[in-house]
Structure 1
């Protein structure tokens, strides 16, 4: 029998999202973020993680949700994402992190086919945890196209 995939469940606004635990490097408390001039709105800036500069993306803004202030539950989830030029380390600012867990079923439901104009390619599928829907993000598609390398500077 195949091992069930584990996920880190992340809260953004009232929604629950999940990311494969294999992509998560660490979960940090919120800390000061060094702003970058003329960066996109969802790129909050850089943090230092053990001597390495790690860009931090606001997951709320990336998903088209309104900005929200930091709280005592705000976390930065440091992840390894497959980008166009190989693996990139990124921090995701999330409103809260719940747990590392298995979803209720091994298989995910496909994203709903509701509208041709809806961009669902950032969703790997829909799972359930304790009876609640959990949106499993395709982080490589959602974040892999973000240009962070210095050679993209204007």
Structure 2
């Protein structure tokens, strides 16, 4: 099966775009709302042996196994600690000809913001632990800056074949 990950935001950014902002490790991040399927409360994660450390396992979301990526491990090598505000952001990525859900663990979801093209600077690798190639750019806000994630690139280095085949790991529930 041919596996490709497409991020609607990975093309050239033009005009105002909407982003879901969230906190992770004291930094503010954002993903394009076109990638976001839903936000759910943090819950039990089923461990799957032999996955990379940043793939924590799967959750059962209405009978479907959804892989959960810990961005804290991916970016800093440290697991994201659960608090009362920790949640899963369920994203959709293109796997072959099908869109598949993939969850990320975040410290807290903030808000949906519209960021104009002129308020987005090219990404820099200074001042953050996130690799510059994981970023679409840095959004300038009245309250500071937000790192705009290219979720397609963040996920592209993971063994996506594993993500594509995880549905068979959880029994379907009615």
Same fold (TM over 0.5): yes
TM-score computed with the length of structure 1 as normaliser: 0.84
Aligned to 1:106: 117
Deviation at 1:3, TM superposition (A): 5.9
With over 3 angstroms needed to count, the CA separation of the structure-2 counterparts of 1:143 and 1:84, relative to structure 1, is farther
1:37 aligns to 2:64 (yes or no): no
User: CA RMSD for the aligned pairs?
Assistant: 2.3
Aligned to 1:54: 66
1:126 aligns to 2:138 (yes or no): yes
Structure with higher RCO (Cα < 8 A, 6+ apart): 2
1:150 aligns to 2:165 (yes or no): yes
TM-score computed with the length of structure 2 as normaliser: 0.75
Q: 1:66-77, aligned counterparts within 5 Å?
A: 66-77=78-89
Which of the two has greater helix per residue? 2
Gaps of at least 5 residues in structure 2 are: 1-13, 167-174
Count matched residues. Answer: 146
Q: 1:13 aligns with which of 3, 21, 25?
A: 25
Deviation at 1:84, TM superposition (A): 6.3
Aligned to 2:169: none
1:97 aligns to 2:109 (yes or no): yes
Gaps of at least 5 residues in structure 1 are: none
